[in-house]
Structures are given as C-alpha cells and as structure tokens.
Structure 1
Amino acid sequence: MTLEQFTRNGGQIARRYDYGDGTVLAVDFGTSAVDTSVDLADGTIIVVADDEQYEFELPDGADDAHTFMKNGVLTVELEGDL
C-alpha cells in the first residue's frame, strides 16, 4: 500500500515536504494510537498501532530512509531526489 492509498481510504492526514537534499513524509495516526511501533525492512515501512498493522512501500528512488513515531505521528525522512 502507498501512503496516498492509506490516507485516501483511512482518512488519515499525510503531508510531504520536499527539500533540496531529501523528502520528509508525515502521517498522523491520531493521539488515540497509544501503543505504536515502526520498523523498516526491505523497502517496506511497517507500522503497528494498537492492534492494527500497516505496511507501506518506500517511494521509487528512495535509497535510504529514517523512520520514527512520536505522539501518533509517523515521520519518514528520505534522502536523495525522488
């Protein structure tokens, strides 16, 4: 699933910020997502929020990514031109 599909189907808020040296994606899972974790494996971002699991493919051209969750917001920092 792409982030665009997830936000369109689930009603979550997502933002994309493009900078000269990379891109930042932010997805708001809401403050009700108390027990959350995020992992990155083989180009797939895996988010577990409460009892739900979501998997997102990294965008084409993303070579390196850093992910973290804070206050129910998933942040994905991508390096390079996308």
Structure 2
Amino acid sequence: MTVTERFAERGIDARRIERDDGVELIADLGPETDASAEIVDGTVIVVTDDDQYDIDLDADGRALINNGILTVEVNE
C-alpha cells in the first residue's frame, strides 16, 4: 500500500508530485491537527493527535508541517 493510500484510508487528502529533481508528498492533515514530523534514519515519522505515520525515504529529503499541511521533499 502506498503512502497516499494509507493517508486516504484515514480520510486524509494526499498527493504525490513528480519533479525534475525529486518527488514531493503533500498531505492535508487539517488546520486543527497538532502534528510534528522528523526524519530519523531515512524514515519520516509524523505524529498527529491520534496517529503516527512512518514514511520510508529512498534518498535524502526533508519534512515540514505548516498550518496542518505536511510536505515531504525527496531529492533524487
């Protein structure tokens, strides 16, 4: 199951965007969601009020959350 499918399963709108220099995952966790994201040993760990999501990265990347929008950028 893909990351976007796992988010969709929980009612979270997510999409994957292919870029010339990598891939971007954007997920709307909701503006009222208290969430954090960290990268540890090649895995993005996203913790929200109710859930935890682990996203394995195949390359270097970064993750940030702004106003409930999770953005994960992976450079190829």
For normalisation by structure 2, the TM-score amounts to 0.83
TM-superposed deviation, 1:31: 1.2
Counterparts of 2:28 and 2:8, CA distance in 1? 13
TM-superposed deviation, 1:2: 4.3
Residue equivalent to 1:78: 74
Unmatched tracts of structure 2, length 5 or more: none
Give % identity: 41
For normalisation by structure 1, the TM-score amounts to 0.78
Residue equivalent to 2:9: 9
Q: Contact 1:13 / 1:28 at 8 angstroms: preserved in 2?
A: yes
Unmatched tracts of structure 1, length 5 or more: none
Residue equivalent to 2:30: 30
TM-superposed deviation, 1:11: 1.4
The reply to whether residue 69 of structure 1 matches residue 68 of structure 2 is no
Which deviations, in whole Å up to 9, do the C-alpha atoms of 1:39-77 show, x marking residues without a partner? 01122111111243222222xxx3101110001111011
Runs of 4+, deviation exceeding 4 Å: none
Q: Secondary structure at the match of 1:32?
A: coil
Counterparts of 2:22 and 2:13, CA distance in 1? 21
Residue equivalent to 1:20: 20
Q: Contact 2:16 / 2:26 at 8 angstroms: preserved in 1?
A: yes
Computing the radius of gyration over CA atoms, which structure comes out larger, 1 or 2? 1
